[in-house]
Chain A
Amino acid sequence: MITTPDLIESLVAGAKPVRRLRPPAARAALWLLFALAIVSLLAVSHGLRPDLGARLDQLLFVTGLAASLLTGVLAAVAAFIVSLPDRSRLWLLLPAPAFALWVSTISYGCLTAWVEMGADGLRLGEAVDCFATLVLISAPLSLAILVMLRYTALLEPARVAAMGALAVSAIAATALSVFHSLDATVMVLMWNLGIAALFVGLANLFGNKIFSLVAPR
């Protein structure tokens, strides 16, 4: 085994100047700008949902949209803050109120729509399209936040991965509800909650390994 003084010598010998991280809020803003770019590109190529104007007059839809967007923004900020070693874990609660509001609007919309439309509101074609959009949004966003937070593999991987996944899910859900008229069915609940739970669950299971792939060592 290498002795500690020898280790210190080798670390000093290998120490190059490093670039300090920008403040977490600035880094979160950078990531959110990237998310905005992705979503805008998709909006151009895919087009908005036809009934968006009418839906924007409905308080429930607007509340849900704003809540999911706010959840995404706050979760991203929380992920970047908590990724630093000396910050309080209480920052993890930052997106909690917005998340609660978002979840409550989804459930309510789903229940009312279920009564109105019945179970045949689901269509495979729309679902597949919806899924493709979801992957197109989530994949680059997840990859970007993974690389930006890679040093956290050595620190608090599970919590940061869960927060990052929540941010990605919320942004993806916000974009989906603008692109697809698939709301008011079980589908929305499945996508929005299911994907968030899946991301968070996977991140918790593999948090360590996911970040280790890109960890600085």
Chain B
Amino acid sequence: MSSGPHNRGPDLTLVAEAAPSSVASPRSEQERPAARELDWSIYMARAQDGDGEAYRRLLEDVTPYLRSIAARHFQNSGDIEDAVQEVLLTVHAVRHTYDPARPFGPWLVAIAHRRVVDGLRRQGRSRAREVALDIEHETFAAPQANLAETASDGRVLRDAIEQLPFGQRDAIRMLKLQGMSLKEAAAASGMSIAALKVATHRALKNLRKMFGRQGGKT
């Protein structure tokens, strides 16, 4: 569908008159909000007619401005970026409601405030249901997630290894805790490889038996 024929007359003259100044002095945009707003108005008018480049410049130009509006209401940078994106999406969805004969600023700010208020409401709702999670609060149902308990599990395992008979204890320490190969362990302990294998097997069996009484896991 092509753009409608109505409501065009004044906009085209506006574009023709103001376009050269906006192209010639892009640096002065920061100092002159009125000129900047006029540029936005022109970009939006062109974007409505299907000019993708003008649309990209408009969206890129307004993003820092929207971010500053959002930053007044949100602290979290993720929330600020969410709000900016919501505003951009809304601007995109309702861009046909902008009348280029009117100033662009109030149109944009009205949409931005609408989305910021929605964001604050959503935040209020989720805050009412959720509790902020600190590192000290990390307690989950899955035992693997609880680091403090893993440490105490390690202590329990070491105590259990201490209770094993002498040969089995050495075999487990060398082969499983220190990570030696069978050959290295045989050289270090003077036991044969076959004897080490048997000792390790018995040690694991004994440990399994010890822990089986408590929870059933090795």
Contacts and interface: CB of A to CB of B under 8 A. Distances in A.
A19 B3 contact: yes
Interface residues of B, number: 40
Interface in B64-112: 78, 81-82, 84-85, 88-90, 92-100, 102-103, 106-107, 110-111
A20 B7 contact: yes
**For chain A, what secondary structure do more than half of its interface residues adopt (helix, strand, loop), or is it mixed?**
loop
Contacts of A83: 97
B92 to A, nearest CB: 5
B107 A85 contact: yes
A11 B97 contact: no
Nearest to A6: B85
Nearest to B50: A17
A157 B98 CA distance: 18
A86 B47 contact: no
B38 to A, nearest CB: 15
Given A7-B88, A20-B99, A15 B50 contact: yes
B6 A15 contact: no
Interface residues of A, number: 31
B110 A21 contact: no
Contact of B96 (A7, A21, A154, A155): A21
Interface stretch (B20-28, B53-61, B134-142, B151-159): B53-61
B85 A7 contact: yes
Contacts of B59: 8, 11-12
Contacts of A123: none
Contact of B85 (A2, A14, A217): A2
A151 interface: yes
Nearest to B111: A85
B4 interface: yes
Nearest to B115: A154
A17 B47 CA distance: 7
A7 B91 CA distance: 12
A20 B6 CA distance: 8
Contact of A20 (B48, B92, B106): B48
Q: 7 closest pairs, A vs B, by CB?
A: A17-B50, A19-B4, A18-B96, A85-B110, A86-B107, A86-B106, A17-B3
